[in-house]
Structure 1
Amino acid sequence: MNDQPARSAPWSETDGVFLLRSVATAMVRLSDIASPGTFALPYPDEAQRALNNMVLNCLMLKARPPESLPHLVEWAAQRPLDRWPITLPPDAVPPGSLLLDKATRQPTQLCYEWAVDAEDSGARYSEQRYMAAASSRCREENYPEAYQAFRLLLVRRPVLTHRELTTIPAAADGDLGPLVDLMHDVYQPAPAGYLDRERRSYTACARCHTLLHLTTEDGLWCERQRCRNLDTVRRGREYQADDGGGVQLLIRPLRQWVSEPGAMETRLARQLTAIGADVELWPGFGAYGMRVRLPDDTVLAVDHKDWASPALLGRRATMPSPDPPYDRCVWVIPAARLRDQPAFRTTFERYRWSASPELMTDRELLRAARQLPETGRVGTRYADSGDEPTGGPF
């Protein structure tokens, strides 16, 4: 299953790491319960603990501490992490990165990555317990079709009306099987931050179909970096607040760790199939993202990993389950990550603690697969700049 927690390799500076995890966890927790910055005493336990730890750290470093929780929230939304008075390992955070989006005060992807990295909160903010339950139920009943249908639904329909939530399982000809009751756990009423109060409506992103969040200036913002990289926001389906009994949104952990990489994996699967590869999505009840048999009969276990932090991704570098079997394990990142962070691969390699999996971009994988009928297996070394690989990985 994607993004299972790995045994942590030691960091060179533990105090700053623990502090950043604490603050990131607090920001995620606050986003779950209200609009950050509007809290009254007493603060939620995780938020108070993060504030206390940050104040203590600042006093020890003789730096000016945040005066309150709303002040700490402002730090998270306005102050890049590389300017915080905390000591972190080299390249632990990308330059200029924030824990909260400036326009919405919502946790960034990096914030969720740090929250998941915390051992005491990782299960709460990752997809593990939901996808483990889905995998276990379908395995027990030997029902791979239900697991496939469930994964595709999470990819294609991050937003449902309440009526759709109750009727889709019946309309799916029983494909969801033992997972029907899980639907009400993973789809929850859309939070107020997505609601246009004047129009009494929610608007979906035309590209990824998740809901667009309202900004502090009455604009719209998509949580997915890929959509934001494509210039302007594109409005998609509009849902009235009372449409079909109310609007249901896939919970954030599943949007981030299942729906988003799943969309990328389905797109990559189509591209690989078009050049002659045999692709199975989410084999072995989600053992990994794709099982790819290439034209030279090499079998790859492929997972799409679009992480903001190459250091945190490197710390999770482990091999997936050997069943279904494969020859090589590959983690694929979007080519845009290397454009935005030229040292992404170097940082990933610095923090990984196992030799596998291999890391390459989606473009590198496709390019190498196209070359296979002519060249067969070749070298695996790449330039860190994101330029074309010298030869190819197979």
Structure 2
Amino acid sequence: MSLTQFGPVYSGRASAVRAGEVVLSLVASGLVGMRGWAGVRRLQHPYDRSLQLGLDRLAALCVRAGSSPPVGVADLVGVWCAERPLDSWPLEFDPDAQVGGERLLIGGEPSEFCLEWAVAARDVVSEVHESALVKHIKDTAALLGRPELYAQWRLFVTEHAVLGPEEFLVAKNAVLDVPQWATWMEESYGPVTAEASAGGRVAVCGGCGQWIVPRADGRVRCRVWRCAQRHDLPEPDRVQARGARRLEPELVRFVALPGRPELDLARRLAARGARVVLYPKLDALDLVAVWPGGHSIGVDVKDWHSPYLLARRIKTFPNWGAGDPHAYRKGYLVVPRDRLRANRSYMRILAQRSEALKAQPQIEVVCDDDLVASCPDLGTAGEVVCGP
């Protein structure tokens, strides 16, 4: 194996860390590329190109470190990714990356840590959000002067993972004055595949609300982080698979799952009397809420395992003038409480690592429980809307 083809020679602490992150991102992306939503079923060619590139770079760094490299992709996936925590790999990482004890595969599936580093490698979030479908929905909504259509679509797919034949027909006809709506539904939902069902039924998680692929042994257990932590997870619902449609895998990962904490926060605020607008201005923010007393806030919800990676993703909050229907007085970046409970360094790493937060000291980073508690509760329910 030639070592001259693996890229630049890294020197210095910063370069070594960067080299380690590149390898981690490539391998994580390759694992995700192998599995889609269905899971890594078997090791077979063709492998995702990112996985091979990651192996090549890892092998070169192993040689430089005097360590034995993985013996091919099967060894990388089956042993290194599945059994060895990242802090045992001969790579350097920034302490705030918190790789200690993290594995890329757990139970044959990419871990949450792995999924987030895959996002980092190829900017999959931007890729998905600017995909043909999402871009078409945003462009059409803007052209029609109805930005709420995008919010309606996003709300619907977040709440509906599986649709029976009649439900799917109703969904397609939900917005009759916009012919494109039916096409959006067709492209958002695909037939239930054989591997996604068991005994003629597809399982829908009672926690996150998304469809679950049965394991090889036939057991059905949701692998989403929050669901995997719960001891009181409700039994999944079983939906007749014949003729049913399930949300496309990429929309599960990048739209529906992130949408759950956003929608949960919106409804908790509305229960205390706030009026909450979802995804204003075609998702410029996750929500804008007006308290019962008139105080207005703009909110972005960030549900990430890694604050180190999240810090790189935080963008500048929009500054809308007083005459704008979505103008807000105070901006908040909201992190779910359980993320902070699981990682006491979360807030520190965000504050130290995010250039966007440093440039916007007026933006307050809070947990969801604290933001909800700050909303005055006058005993009258508010509302969650998709429109202006």
**TM-score under structure 2 normalisation?**
0.81
- Between the two proteins, the alignment pairs up a number of residues equal to 354
CA deviation after TM superposition for structure 1 residue 216, in Å: 4.5
Match of 1:354 among 346, 352, 356: 356
Farther-moved stretch of structure 1 (50-59 vs 77-86): 77-86
- Confirm whether residue 92 of structure 1 aligns to residue 100 of structure 2: no
Q: Is the 8 A contact 1:22 1:115 kept in 2?
A: yes
Farther-moved stretch of structure 1 (325-334 vs 20-29): 325-334
Cα–Cα, structure 1 residues 223 and 180, in superposed 2: closer, same or farther, change >3 Å? farther
Farther-moved stretch of structure 1 (337-346 vs 254-263): 254-263
- Confirm whether residue 253 of structure 1 aligns to residue 250 of structure 2: yes
Per-residue CA distance 1:261-282 (angstroms, 9 max, x = gap): 3222222222212323221111
Q: Is the 8 A contact 1:19 1:50 kept in 2?
A: yes
Q: Which residue of 1 aligns with 2:208?
A: 208
* Equivalent-residue separation in structure 1 for 2:208 and 2:84 (angstroms): 29
Per-residue CA distance 1:301-320 (angstroms, 9 max, x = gap): 11221101111111112124
* Equivalent-residue separation in structure 2 for 1:251 and 1:271 (angstroms): 28
CA deviation after TM superposition for structure 1 residue 29, in Å: 0.6
SS at match of 2:33: helix
CA deviation after TM superposition for structure 1 residue 51, in Å: 1.9
Q: Which residue of 2 aligns with 1:266?
A: 263
RMSD, matched Cα: 2.8
Per-residue CA distance 1:20-62 (angstroms, 9 max, x = gap): 1101110111113986373345534232222222222222222
Per-residue CA distance 1:160-203 (angstroms, 9 max, x = gap): 34664444211x1427653331333332344554333xx24321
CA deviation after TM superposition for structure 1 residue 363, in Å: 0.7
Per-residue CA distance 1:131-176 (angstroms, 9 max, x = gap): 3332221111122443232122111102234664444211x14276
Q: Is the 8 A contact 2:164 2:240 kept in 1?
A: no
Cα–Cα, structure 1 residues 82 and 250, in superposed 2: closer, same or farther, change >3 Å? farther
**TM-score under structure 1 normalisation?**
0.80
Structure 2 residue runs of 5 or longer lacking an equivalent are 1-13, 321-325, 379-388
- Confirm whether residue 364 of structure 1 aligns to residue 370 of structure 2: yes
Q: Which residue of 1 aligns with 2:221?
A: 221
Farther-moved stretch of structure 1 (58-67 vs 231-240): 231-240
| AA of the residue aligned to 2:186 | H
- Confirm whether residue 291 of structure 1 aligns to residue 288 of structure 2: yes
Q: Which residue of 2 aligns with 1:57?
A: 61
| AA of the residue aligned to 1:279 | V
Q: Is the 8 A contact 1:11 1:89 kept in 2?
A: no
* Equivalent-residue separation in structure 2 for 1:12 and 1:358 (angstroms): 33
Q: Which residue of 2 aligns with 1:275?
A: 272
1:41-190 equivalences under 5 Å are 41=45, 43-74=47-78, 75-102=80-107, 105-119=108-122, 123-124=126-127, 126-129=128-131, 130-161=133-164, 164-170=167-173, 172-174=174-176, 177-190=179-192
Identity across the alignment (%): 28
Q: Is the 8 A contact 1:19 1:54 kept in 2?
A: yes
Match of 1:24 among 21, 28, 31: 28
Q: Is the 8 A contact 1:81 1:93 kept in 2?
A: no
Cα–Cα, structure 1 residues 169 and 52, in superposed 2: closer, same or farther, change >3 Å? same
Q: Which residue of 1 aligns with 2:6?
A: none
SS at match of 1:329: strand
Per-residue CA distance 1:284-342 (angstroms, 9 max, x = gap): 22221110123454322112211011111111121243353323321211111111111
* Equivalent-residue separation in structure 1 for 2:252 and 2:313 (angstroms): 20
Q: Which residue of 2 aligns with 1:38?
A: 42
